[in-house]
Amino acid sequence: MPQAFRNTLLTLRDLIVSAGPLAFLALGLVVAAYWWLDPNPPKQVTLATGPAQSAYEEFGKRYQKALAADGIEVLLLPSEGSSANLQLLRDGKADVAFVQGGTAELQPDDANELVSLGSLFVEPVWLFYRADAALRVTPQGRLDSLRQLRGLRVNVGSQGSGVPTLVERLLDANHVDKGEVKLSQLEQTPATVAFLAGKLDALVFASAPESLMVQMLLQTPGVRLMDFPQHEAYGRKFAFLTPVTLPRGVVDLAGNVPARDVRLVASTTSMLAREGTHPALLTLFAQKAQTLHGGAGWFNRAREFPSTRHSELPIAKEGERAINEPVPLLQRYLPFWIANLIERMWLVLGILLAVLLPLSRVVPPIYQFRVRSRVFRWYGRLREIESDLESGKASPQDLLTALNTLEAHVEKVSVPLSYADELYALRNYIHLVRKKLLRT
């Protein structure tokens, strides 16, 4: 083996042995911090959506596609609606869910177990009625008050949707007893079929305009959308309701649908998550919400949503950050999982550096001691030979043989060039002792 290569290997060995314990300590602390912080999210998350052909289902598919780009599989869990979604969160069967304000009763523990990622969009109360049924109530064939529903067959959606609870509160505010209206609680699709067949007089939905069912009914001949002239009063009376207006022609400009502005009341839908959901997943959902809900819609201007307003539960810090702060610098240029890892680990890494830097000062002395010990260990043997010479304990020939053996060992010693002076000093002392032996 070439001497230069051998010297390099020895130097590396000394460096590894000297710095090894500190390196293992640092590695162990980093692994422990990674295990404790758990910075990378699970690869699968369950999102509770809503009934088939609902806006919740449509948005669920959009989130599924958006998070797939970051390697996260979103499992869509269909449900009857907001109330069912809220229960799925409580039962731990869903990690994230769409929940509509005012349609589900919150329990005292919800504030501790659930968090909000912000309000995403408004969901108007769509009360569609058949024009022929309205003629039995008013000569004009147009409904503009919930009091006019007396005696009509009205479907208010399944219990899990939360709409029955909402309608009950609105009817009570109008002093309409539930027994005065023929209420049914069919699911959305069969209710729509019965409505179009004339078996129902009215349908009540609480859904975003992206719902295919809503868009179909808005353009169905013989079907009208009820106007709420008192929509401002509803917004003042119920904190979870917002007065909105469906502008004329917004559904179809060419067909002028609707033919006039329609005043409506709307609740705000939020994205809720379980308290134990991984923070990185909450960040991803909150950031994707900026893209999916930040544009202009039928009832809002661009960048009005997502919002921290209208929330019935505490806003998660991930949602607050995504809504009110720009995208973190690292996430603009790095894949999410790398940026998230750095962002969540940087503080721990900084603490580790603060602890390990002072400890690293012991590495150079240890390294220096190991290198110099390869030289200094032979000084003891050289001193023994010189002492035996002075005391006459051994013959000069025996001492010369011992000195030659010592010199042979020293010639095999390899040290870095920065320590060569100490090696050559030892060789010089050996030469001096030999000269003393030869004079005797």
pLDDT in tens, 316-332: 988 888 888 777 766 67
Q: Among 57-66, 295-304, 336-345, 428-437, name the one with the lowest average pLDDT.
A: 336-345
Give the residues across from 55 on adjacent strands. Answer: none
Q: What is the pLDDT of residues 381-405, one digit of tens each?
A: 888 888 887 787 788 788 888 888 8
Do 85 and 194 have their domain in common? yes
Q: Where a domain ends, among 325, 352, 373?
A: 325
Which pLDDT score is estimated for 62? 94
- Domain co-membership, 98 together with 197: yes
Q: Is residue 37 part of a domain?
A: no
Task: Please report the pLDDT score of residue 19 as a whole number.
Answer: 61
Question: pLDDT band at 440, cuts 50/70/90?
Answer: low
Q: Residue 349: pLDDT band by 50, 70, 90 thresholds?
A: low
Per-residue pLDDT tens for 267-277? 888 899 998 88
Assigned domain for 334 exists: no
Same domain membership, residue 316 and residue 381: no
For residues 59 and 269, is the Cβ–Cβ distance under 8 A? no
CATH code of the domain in which 204 resides = 3.40.190.10
Q: Is the domain of 18 the same as that of 161?
A: no
Looking at per-residue pLDDT, the higher value among 202 and 24 belongs to 202
Within a domain: residue 155? Answer: yes
Q: Is residue 344 part of a domain?
A: no
What average pLDDT does this structure show over 129-141? Answer: 91
In a domain, 99, yes or no: yes
In the numeric block, which tokens belong to residue 409? 């060992």
- Does residue 192 carry a pLDDT above 80? yes
Give the residue from 325, 346, 371 where a domain finishes.
325
Residue that terminates a domain, selected from 262, 297, 325: 325
- 9 and 55 part of one domain: no
Asked if residue 226 and residue 372 are part of one domain, the reply reads no
Distance in Å from the first CA to the final CA of the chain? 40
Report the pLDDT value the prediction gives residue 426, as an integer from 0 to 100. Answer: 83
Residue 198 included in any domain: yes
Quote the pTM value: 0.63
Q: Provide the domain limits for residue 375.
A: 3-32+361-438
Query: Do 167 and 240 fall within a single domain?
Result: yes
Confidence bin at 6 (pLDDT 50/70/90): low
Is residue 191 domain-shared with residue 259, that is, in the same domain? yes
Q: Do residue 99 and residue 247 come from a single domain?
A: yes
Which pLDDT tens digit goes with each residue over 85-113?
999 999 999 999 999 877 666 777 888 89
Residues 28 and 145 in one domain: no
| Digit-coded pLDDT (tens) for 285-303 | 998 998 898 887 778 777 8
Looking at the domain assignment, is residue 256 inside a domain? yes
Give the Cα separation of 366 and 371 in Å (integer): 9
Question: In total, how many domains does the chain have?
Answer: 2
Q: Of 417 and 218, which is predicted with more confidence?
A: 218
- Residue 157, number of CB atoms within 10 A of its CB: 27
25 and 138 together in one domain: no
pLDDT in tens, 143-167: 999 999 999 999 998 877 778 888 8
Task: Verify that 28 and 62 share a domain, yes or no.
Answer: no
pLDDT category of residue 340 using cuts at 50, 70 and 90? low
Within 8 A by CB and 6+ apart from 343, the residues are 328, 330
What's the rounded Cα separation, in Å, for the pair 96 and 76? 10
Minimal CA–CA distance to 127: which of 180, 83, 166?
Answer: 166
For residue 338, being part of any structural domain is answered with no
